Structure 1
Amino acid sequence: MSIEEQVPAALLDEASEALEELAGVLAGGQTLNDALQQLVESASRVIPDAENVSVTVVGPEGASTEAWTDERVVEIDRKQYATGDGPCLEASRTQRPVRATVEGGREKWPEFAAAAERAGVRAYLSAPIVVEDDVIGSLNLYSSDDRAFDPFDEALLRLFVTAASTSITGFRRYERSRRLVEHLQRALESRGEIDQAKGVLMAAHGVDAEEAFTRLVGESQRHNTKLRDVARNLLASVRGPSDEADRTDRDQTGDR
């Protein structure tokens, strides 16, 4: 019997609607944290045995919980981060879903088991989140029933993991694009100031554009200063105080 035959159509419809809502959050230009929070709340509502849900993100500085449905269960993951082991970290390392219970985890992950028991959690299921072929964390489910999480729960979990991967990939690409645009804007601003500084040197010393640029580069190397800063300092030195004040006012107005 297929999963579709085992589960009421209404539940599948609810899962589909939840994923559409998540797509709406992304399209609305919300932050990554907004998208991840929407993700855990939707997963908690749709996956039958998931009473609470969290997202673990593993980065250069270690693991952290970035979204959750109840603060009480976050400590379960923090204990895993502190010891460097546990089902959520194992799911990330092995790139496979990992199911754990308090009873089954007492020997293998004693700190995890103790924290889970204190929070009233008896069963725990983690699945790795893979972004651009890089495992960056896990999506974690919690239940007070040690029999929780059947194959259908795991199938739904995979859907939400895919949604999480898509969310993070989209935001990574957006951030890369945003940084590139900012870099290009700064480069254009710097180019304009460098050209103005070259013009000042050409007029003051009767040199051509190539020689003026060579002098700016030499000043940059002697003082270990960025070329654009050398150009700005030169322009500031030939501007009157009132001109510089007007320029500062314009910059600040533009920032606003």
Structure 2
Amino acid sequence: MKHSISRHFLACFASAAALVTALSAGPAAAQCAPATPGVGDTVTCAGFDANGFSSSADNITVDVNGGATVQNPGGDAVNVDGLADTIDNRGFMDGDDEGIQIGGADSFVFNRNGATIEGGDNGVQIEGDRTELTNFNGGRIEGGDRGIEAEDASGVVIINAGEILGLSSDGIRTCDGATISNTVNGSIIGGDDGVQVGSNVTITNRGSITATADQMGGGSSEAITGGDDVSLRNFGAITARDDVFQTGLNADVVNSGVL
């Protein structure tokens, strides 16, 4: 276990044409409807939607039904930018950029048992402060870069009982004030770091957090890396070829599992 300032945390990171598939047989393609919701509306996605869905309305709910597929080969599968929006996925979401991009504060994402969210860049990109994401047992979130990226949002809450995978970068990346709970069935895997956070963050792990960079053939990786005032409660398994836990000042660690 090493306590040193990681390479990413001086400023809590610094970031920040649709292809329509025609089916000659089987059920007709179904769009997410209504396509232009108003405040407080519920959008239902059933069947197959090849164009993705986007909205800037506040307080909408996007329900992706079981067996439904929402894709966007030219962008995000679902992109919502209103305040207090909710995305509830029971199907399959696949975006060339993000599976989900959620921009408004105080929003919610639910990825249910058997549901999958995939993105060529990030599985889920969170830009709204205080957004809460729950990945249920049997749910999967995968990004070609990061599984979940929330580097531009503070106070994010992530509860994971399924699988979160960042193929080439981090399983989860957040900014300041985040709370991450990985339950006994939860698995967080990063091709670089398993979890990378800002400052004033609480992480509770009862499942597994794994950094795989060196295990897959190159680079350095930490299972958990963060800024100052990071609290870790570990009751599960946290593994990496390099440092298991690398943070700034005032780290607080209680370990009853495997480091």
More helix, by proportion: 1
Q: 1 or 2 for the larger relative contact order (CA 8 Å, sep ≥6)?
A: 1
Q: Which has the larger radius of gyration?
A: 1
TM over 0.5: no
Instruction: Tell me the TM-score normalized by structure 2.
Output: 0.18
More strand, by proportion: 2
